Chains A and B, each alone.
Chain A
Amino acid sequence: MRYARVLGIFWRSALLAESEYRLNFLIAALSSIGGAAGTLFTMWLLFAGRGNLSGWAWPEALVVLGIFLMLDGLIASVLQPNLSRIVGLVQQGTLDFVLLKPMDSQFWVSLRNISLWGIPNLLIGIGLLIYGRAHVAGSVGTLWLAPVALALAAGTVYSLWFCIASTTIWFTKVWNATEVLRMMMEAGKYPLAVYPRGWQIALTFVLPVAFFTTVPAEMILGKRPWEWLWLAGGLMLVLLLASRWFWRYALRYYTGASA
């Protein structure tokens, strides 16, 4: 409860600061629209008039893209503005002040800020998801799954992102590590089945992009039984706990500003 109140205060102040840069929001909206249009155009060329691509019909592929854009929006709004700051906190030693606060430090570094940059992508994603699902022919899965599956995917993305960002404690200049992750996430724009075998293995086991977009989409579309939620939930929980453990472990190596 206390944390919810603090979060409200955090985000209100962050949004106030953000409202200083209204032009940024316009730029974000324009680049989101451009990005979505470009991806749709690319996908249309990929389909090349065929009814389906590796078993995925056009509206079904739109659902995957919708989920990708929603996650990307969340990353831009919540993860990027917070986790990119860890570098600065460590370099300048101001992480000391965070650790001294009577509050969970992981909570603070993960949720202190919020930005509006991701909102356009989030909205476009929701739109594509709804449009795609409404146009799928034949049997489709239950709708209540959608928010649950998406929340699990978001949790998984967060945990992985946070682990990478935690490595800053050792390397300080690791800003680009999360950028690499973001580039690899691009692979989640398309259903896993449109990749050759080798790529599929890498995208499932090396970097679980499959669990970010394809698996939730399959559950929402009824292509996969809803019981898969347990697996997705289990994966998220394991990664979330791992991220907590990893943060604590990393903090042991943090020597502070004075050392």
Chain B
Amino acid sequence: MRLLLYRARTLLGVNYSLMTEYRAEVCLWVLAGIMPFIMMGVWMQASQDGSFGLNAVDFARYFLVTFIVRQLTVIWVIWEFEYQVVEGKLSPFLLQPMDPAWRFLAAHLGEQLARLPFWVLLVGLFFYLYPQAWWVPSGYGVMLFIPALLLTYILRFLIQYTLAMLCFWLERASAVETLWFMPYMFLSGMAVPLSLFPEAVRTVVMWTPFPYMVYVPVQMLLNPGQVNVPLSFAVMGLWIVGFWLLNRWLWRLGLRQYSGMGG
């Protein structure tokens, strides 16, 4: 247990220092996530005549929390993994008595820390420019939001890491991520709050993993009454277990393929 803690601390420390080297780039990464602010503008303007049952402030808060959720769940493991597999850099890690997944996860958490000040600053700037949107979330909402966010993180990481396993067979697996990004963009609630979807569409979409990456955590903070809380956690758990099993299976299969490539 002590060894485990020691490892975790070292990995995190190293990765955080590494990422602070790239401060300028991290700042740009944060800026690349401004898409929710674009959609915020569109929806705030469109809601002026009261067509949606949500007013401008509701939309502002929705997309602000969307921005925060997106920042806190940024995953890029597929690009890193692709690079390491194509360049053969994965090999030395395989010799270590630790699954390389932990190394990738630590890199993500380090980057997460380095990114924090930039997006907090942006959120502050937003409230300065648009003080009407300021509010204090309910305690119940926060209590649901934190575990939901954690599960969202695990789910996003697992899905992308599973897609990354395709690197063992395809040279450009990150192209698959580009394809995956499309349904994520439109079905997760990043472009439209899912509550505005036609009933039938929403019912179907709620069974896919996408809404649990943005819409569900956002709603848990803003209006927990809008989502079926136990069902949401159950669906998230199911997807996590499913992708975890798929991931381990592909990993074992892929390693055989990988060593074949080297030998």
Contact = CB atoms under 8 A, between A and B. Distances in A.
Given A31-B178, A180-B28, A184-B34, A38 B186 contact: yes
A194 B32 contact: no
A196 interface: yes
B182 A38 contact: yes
A24 B172 contact: yes
B175 A24 contact: yes
A211 interface: no
Contacts, number: 90
Nearest to B186: A38
Interface stretch (A5-13, A42-50, A106-114, A131-139): A42-50
Interface stretch (A119-127, A151-159, A170-178, A225-233): A170-178
A23 interface: yes
Interface in A142-175: 171, 173-175
B183 A183 contact: no
A55 to B, nearest CB: 12
B41 A199 contact: yes
B51 A176 contact: no
B176 A27 contact: yes
Interface in B96-128: none
Nearest to B43: A46
A199 B37 CA distance: 9
Interface string A87-113: 000000000000000000000000000
B167 interface: no
A183 B36 CA distance: 10
Contact of B46 (A35, A46, A186): A46
Contacts of B129: 198
A196 B43 CA distance: 9
A183 B24 CA distance: 17
A48 B31 contact: no
A48 B51 contact: yes
B185 A194 contact: no
Interface in B115-170: 129, 170
14 contacts: A34-B186, A38-B186, A39-B186, A42-B192, A46-B46, A50-B51, A173-B25, A179-B32, A180-B28, A183-B31, A183-B34, A194-B42, A194-B46, A196-B45
Given A34-B182, A39-B186, 11 more contacts: A21-B171, A23-B170, A30-B179, A34-B183, A42-B192, A45-B192, A46-B42, A174-B25, A176-B29, A183-B33, A186-B35
Interface of B: 22, 24-25, 28-29, 31-35, 38, 41-46, 49, 51-52, 129, 170-172, 175-176, 178-179, 181-183, 185-186, 191-192, 196-197
- Which 8 A-B pairs rank lowest in CB-CB distance, beginning with the nearest? A38-B186, A34-B182, A199-B41, A176-B28, A195-B41, A48-B51, A187-B38, A31-B179
